[in-house]
C-alpha cells in the first residue's frame, strides 16, 4: 500500500510538469505559425493557401506521409544521430553533407560494379562501403583536431566543398552514364536497390536502418561504459582526462568517425533507396538540417526520431508550397528555415524558464 501511494504521488506530481511542457510546446507552435504567417504576408503570398500546401505536402495524405515526409526523415535521422554522438563528445561536425556525398559515391561505385551479384549481398557491401567512405571523410578533420587543435568547424566545412568538387568531377568523368549526355551516373540495377516497404509508396527499408541507428546510439550512450566515457569527454574533457583517466582524444576521434559513418550511410541509403543514381546537389542541405535535428532533440538519440520527423515534414511541406502554392524555391526554403529557428528559439526559452523555475533560487 505505501508503494502504491508513493507511485501515485510520483505520477500526480509529474502531471503538472507534463502539462506545462505541453502548454509550452503549444505556445512554440503558435508563435512559429504567427511568424510564418507574417513572413508570407510580407512576401505577398496567400497565407491560407500557403499553409494549406504546407500541411497537405507533409501530412495531408498517406502518400504525403509515406513518400515525402518519412523519406526525407531517413537521412535527417541518420545524420542527426551521428551529430548527437559527436556533440555529446564535444565535437562539432559540420561536414555532414560532404560525408553524405562520400558515402553516396562509394555506394554508387559498388552498386554499379556488382550488377551480377545477389541483391542482398550487393546492398550490404554497398552500404558498408558508404559507412567506410563517410568515416574516411572525417579522418583529415579528426587528425587536424587531435594533432594541431584545428577547429573542426572550419575543416569539416572545407571538406564539404571538396566533396562537391569530387562529385562534380566523377559524374562528368569516371562515373558518368554511358551516353555522356547527362552529368550523372548510370542507374543502380534494380536488384541492388533498397526494397520498398509498402507497395505504391516510396518508403524504403532505409527507415529501419535509421531507427536501428538511433536506438543503438541511445543504448551505447546511456547504458555502456563507452557511452559514459564519451559523455564525460564532452562534458568536461580536462576532468575526464585527469580524474577519470579517459583518453579524450581517442574518444572524440571515435565519435567523429561514428558521426561520419552514419552520414555516409545516409548517402548510401539515398542512392540505393531514392535517387538510384549519383548526381550533383544530391543533398538539399541534409547535413546542416541534421544539426537542428540534434539540437531540437537536446542531444538525445531517441528524441532525434521526433525532431527528424518534424524537419522531414517541414522539408516535404516546403516542397509542396513551391509546387502547389507557387511559392519560389528561395522563399520556400526561407519559410522552412524560419520555422526551424522559431522552434529552436522557443524551445530554448522554454527550457530556460523550466530550469529557473526548478532551480533552488528560482521561483516556486
Question: How far is C-alpha 116 from the geometric centre of its chain's CA atoms?
Answer: 33
Considering the chain, what percentage of its residues have pLDDT values greater than 90?
A: 54
- Closest residue by Cα to residue 262 from 219, 209, 222, 207: 209
Calculate the alpha carbon distances from 103 to 12, 152, 163, 216, 277 in Å: 49, 20, 10, 20, 13
Q: What is the pTM of this model?
A: 0.86
Question: How far is C-alpha 28 from the geometric centre of its chain's CA atoms?
Answer: 21
Phi, psi (deg, nearest 5) at residue 326: 70, 20
pLDDT digits (tens, 9 = 90+) for 173-212: 999 999 999 999 999 999 999 999 998 899 999 999 999 9
How high is the pLDDT of residue 245? 84
pLDDT digits (tens, 9 = 90+) for 292-312: 899 888 899 999 999 999 899
Rounded CA separation 242/183 (Å): 53
How high is the pLDDT of residue 360? 55
pLDDT digits (tens, 9 = 90+) for 218-246: 999 999 999 999 999 988 888 888 877 88
Q: Can you read off the three cell numbers belonging to residue 311?
A: 524537419
153 vs 337, which has greater pLDDT?
153
Instruction: Please check the confidence at residue 22 and state whether its pLDDT lies above 90.
Output: no
Domain 74-319 coded CATH 1.25.40: no
pLDDT digits (tens, 9 = 90+) for 49-101: 888 888 898 999 999 999 999 999 999 999 999 999 999 999 999 999 999 99
Domain ranges of the chain: 74-319
How high is the pLDDT of residue 42? 78
Instruction: Please check the confidence at residue 6 and state whether its pLDDT lies above 50.
Output: no
Amino acid at each position: 500500500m505505501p508503494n502504491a501511494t508513493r507511485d501515485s504521488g510520483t505520477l500526480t506530481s509529474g502531471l503538472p510538469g507534463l502539462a506545462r511542457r505541453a502548454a509550452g510546446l503549444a505556445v512554440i507552435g503558435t508563435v512559429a505559425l504567427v511568424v510564418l504567417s507574417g513572413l508570407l504576408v510580407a512576401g505577398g503570398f496567400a497565407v491560407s493557401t500557403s499553409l494549406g500546401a504546407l500541411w497537405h505536402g507533409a501530412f495531408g495524405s498517406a502518400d504525403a506521409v509515406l513518400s515525402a515526409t518519412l523519406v526525407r526523415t531517413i537521412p535527417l535521422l541518420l545524420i542527426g544521430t551521428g551529430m548527437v554522438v559527436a556533440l555529446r563528445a564535444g565535437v562539432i561536425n559540420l561536414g555532414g553533407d560532404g560525408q553524405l556525398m562520400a558515402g553516396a559515391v562509394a555506394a554508387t561505385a559498388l552498386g554499379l560494379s556488382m550488377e551480377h551479384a545477389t541483391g542482398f549481398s550487393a546492398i550490404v557491401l554497398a552500404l558498408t562501403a558508404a559507412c567506410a567512405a563517410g568515416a574516411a571523410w572525417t579522418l583529415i578533420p579528426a587528425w587536424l583536431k587531435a594533432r594541431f587543435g584545428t577547429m573542426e568547424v572550419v575543416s569539416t566545412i572545407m571538406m564539404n566543398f571538396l566533396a562537391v568538387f569530387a562529385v562534380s568531377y566523377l559524374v562528368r568523368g569516371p562515373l558518368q552514364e554511358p551516353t555522356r549526355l547527362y552529368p550523372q551516373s548510370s542507374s543502380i540495377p534494380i536488384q541492388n536497390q533498397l526494397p520498398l516497404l509498402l507497395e505504391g509508396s516510396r518508403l524504403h527499408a532505409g527507415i529501419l536502418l535509421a531507427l536501428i541507428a538511433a536506438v543503438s546510439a541511445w543504448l551505447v550512450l546511456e547504458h555502456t561504459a563507452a557511452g559514459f566515457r564519451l559523455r564525460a569527454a564532452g562534458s568536461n574533457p580536462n576532468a575526464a582526462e585527469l580524474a577519470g583517466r579517459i583518453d579524450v582524444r581517442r574518444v572524440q576521434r571515435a565519435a567523429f568517425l561514428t558521426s561520419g559513418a552514419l552520414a555516409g550511410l545516409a548517402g548510401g541509403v539515398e542512392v540505393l533507396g531514392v535517387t538510384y543514381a549519383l548526381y550533383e546537389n544530391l543533398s538539399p542541405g541534409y547535413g546542416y538540417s541534421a544539426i537542428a535535428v540534434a539540437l531540437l532533440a537536446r542531444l538525445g538519440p531517441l528524441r532525434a526520431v521526433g525532431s527528424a520527423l518534424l524537419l522531414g515534414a517541414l522539408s516535404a511541406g516546403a516542397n509542396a508550397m513551391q509546387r502547389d502554392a507557387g511559392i519560389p524555391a528561395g522563399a520556400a526554403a526561407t519559410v522552412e528555415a524560419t520555422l526551424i529557428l522559431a522552434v529552436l528559439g522557443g524551445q530554448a526559452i522554454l527550457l530556460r524558464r523550466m530550469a529557473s523555475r526548478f532551480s533552488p533560487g528560482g521561483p516556486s
